[in-house]
Structure 1
Amino acid sequence: MGWWPPAAWRRWGVVVVVVAALMAVSATAAVEEELGGRESGVVAAAAQGRWPRHRHAYAAMMYMGTPRDYEFYVAVRVMMRSLARIGADADRVLIASADVPADWVRAMREEDGMRVVLVENMKNPYESNLGGINRRFKLTLNKLYAWTLVDYERVVMIDSDNIFLQKTDELFQCGQFCAVFINPCYFHTGLFVLQPSMDVFKGMLHDLEIGRANSDGADQGFLVGCYPDLLDRPMFHPPENGSKLNGTYRLPLGYQMDASYYYLKLHWHVPCGPNSVITFPSAPWFKPWYWWSWPILPLGLSWHKQRWDDLGYAAEMPVILMEILMYAVIITITRLAKPGMTKLCYNRRPEKQNAMVQGLIKMSAIVAMLIAYAIPFFIIPRTVHPFMGWSMYLFGALALGVLVSNAFLLPLLAVLTPWLAIIGMFFVMAFPWYHGGIVRVLAIFGYAFCSAPFLWASLVRVMDSLQTMLEREPFFPRLGEPAQETEFSKLF
Structure 2
Amino acid sequence: MSLSTTDPEGLRPSSPARARHAFVTLVTNADYALGARALARSIRLTGTRADIVVLHTGGVDSSTLEPLGDFGCRLVETDLLPLSDEFNTRHARRNVHEKAPFTKGRKPDFHSPLDNFCKLRLWQLVEYERCVFIDADAIVLRNIDKLFRYPQFSAAPNVYESLGDFHRLNSGVFVAEPSLDTFEKMVAVLDAPDAFWPRTDQTFLQSYFPDWHGLPVTMNMLQYVWFNLPALWDWRSICVLHYQYEKPWEADHPRAEALRPLIELWRAYLTGENIPDLATLDNPVQAGTVPS
Q: Same fold (TM over 0.5)?
A: yes
Q: Which amino acid aligns with 1:166?
A: R
Structure 2 residue 162 is the aligned partner of structure 1 residue 200 = no
3-state SS of paired residue (1:224): helix
Q: Secondary structure at the residue paired with 2:287? A: helix
> 1:421-462: per-residue Cα shift (whole Å, max 9, x none)?
xxxxxxxxxxx989715369x99xxxxxxxxxxxxxxxxxxx
Task: Please state if 1:257 is matched with 2:221.
Answer: yes
More helix by share: 1
Q: Is the 8 A contact 1:58 1:93 kept in 2?
A: yes
Distance 1:118 1:291 in 2: 28
Deviation by residue 1:177-197 (Cα, 9 ceiling, x = unmatched): 111112333211000000000
Does the Cα contact within 8 Å between 1:294 and 1:301 map onto a contact in 2? no
The within-5 A match list for 1:3-22 is none
Q: Indicate yes or no: 2:166 matched with 1:184.
A: yes
- Alignment pair present for 1:55 and 2:20: yes
Tell me the matched-pair count.
Answer: 246
1:130/1:138 contact within 8 Å kept: no
Distance 1:59 1:86 in 2: 15
TM-score by length of 1: 0.45
Cα distance in 1 between the residues matched to 2:140 and 2:288: 27
Give deviations 1:143-200, integer Å, cap 9, x for gaps.
0000001011110011112122211000000112111112333211000000000000
Tell me by how many angstroms 1:289 deviates.
2.7
1:131 correspondence with 2:104: no
By how many angstroms is 1:137 displaced?
1.7
Cα contact 1:82–1:164 (8 A) shared by 2: yes
1:227 & 1:266 partners in 2: Cα distance? 30
With over 3 angstroms needed to count, the CA separation of the structure-2 counterparts of 1:267 and 1:199, relative to structure 1, is closer
Is the 8 Å Cα contact of residues 180 and 250 (structure 1) preserved in structure 2? yes
Q: Which has the higher contact order (CA 8 A, sep 6+)?
A: 2
Is the partner of 1:117 in helix, strand or coil? strand
Which of residues 112, 117, 120 in structure 1 aligns to 2:79?
120
Contact 2:121 2:183 in 1 (8 A): yes
Q: Which residue of 278, 285, 291 corresponds with 1:436?
A: 285
* CA shift for structure 1 position 106: 3.5
Cα distance change of structure 1 residues 115 and 260 upon mapping to structure 2, 3 Å threshold: same
Q: Using the alignment, how far apart are the partners of 2:214 and 2:179 within structure 1?
A: 20
Contact 1:186–1:224, Cα closer than 8 Å, also in 2: yes
Q: Are the structure 2 counterparts of residues 107 and 277 from structure 1 closer, same or farther at C-alpha, using a change threshold of 3 Å? A: closer
Distance of 2:283 and 2:150 partners within structure 1? 38
Rg larger in 1 or in 2? Answer: 1
Query: Shift of the alpha carbon at 1:98?
Result: 2.7
Kindly report which structure 2 residues correspond to 1:60-99, keeping only aligned pairs within 5 A, or say none.
60-63=25-28, 69-99=29-59
TM norm structure 2: 0.74
Q: Is the 8 A contact 2:38 2:139 kept in 1?
A: no
1:156·1:191 contact (CA, 8 Å) conserved in 2?
A: yes
Residue aligning to 1:302: 265
User: Shift in Å at residue 308 of structure 1?
Assistant: 2.3
Give the partner amino acid of 1:220: Q
- Where does structure 1 lack aligned partners over 5 or more consecutive residues? 1-47, 64-68, 231-248, 313-431, 444-492
Cα distance, 1:167–1:209 mapped onto 2, change above 3 Å: same
Judge conservation of contact 2:233–2:283 (CA < 8 Å) in 1.
no
CA contact (8 A) 1:178 1:250 kept: yes
Aligned to 2:136: 160
Alignment match, 1:447:
none
CA-CA distance at 1:267 after TM superposition: 8.4
CA shift digits 1:310-362 (9 cap, x unpaired): 7x9xxxxxxxxxxxxxxxxxxxxxxxxxxxxxxxxxxxxxxxxxxxxxxxxxx
Q: Do the aligned residues in 1 keep the contact of 2:38 with 2:271 (CA within 8 Å)?
A: no
Is the contact between residue 57 and residue 155 of structure 1 (CA under 8 Å) also seen in structure 2? yes
| Counterparts of 2:172 and 2:242, CA distance in 1 | 7
* 1:407-486 pair list within 5 angstroms: 436-438=285-287
Percent of residue pairs bearing the same amino acid type: 26
Partners of 1:259 and 1:280 within 8 A in 2: yes
Distance in 2 between residues matched to 1:253 and 1:267, nearest whole Å: 9
| C-alpha RMSD of the superposition | 3.1
Q: Does the 8 Å contact 1:253/1:270 carry over to 2?
A: no
User: CA separation in 2, counterparts of 1:144 and 1:277?
Assistant: 21
CA distance in 2, matches of 1:222, 1:270: 31
SS in 2 for 1:140: helix
On the 8 A contact 2:231/2:286 being kept in 1, the answer is yes
Out of 175, 191, 194, the residue aligned to residue 209 of structure 1 is 191
CA distance in 1, matches of 2:65, 2:113: 22
Partners of 1:257 and 1:216 in 2: how far apart? 22
Provide structure 2 residue ranges, at least 5 long, that are not aligned to the other structure.
1-12, 103-110, 159-164, 275-280
Q: Which of 151, 166, 179 is residue 127 of structure 2 equivalent to?
A: 151
Of the three residues 103, 114, 119, the one matched with 2:63 is 103
Aligned-partner residue type, residue 173 of structure 2 = L
Q: What secondary structure sits across from 2:139 in the alignment?
A: strand
- Structure 1 position 212, deviation (Å): 7.5
SS in 2 for 1:131: helix
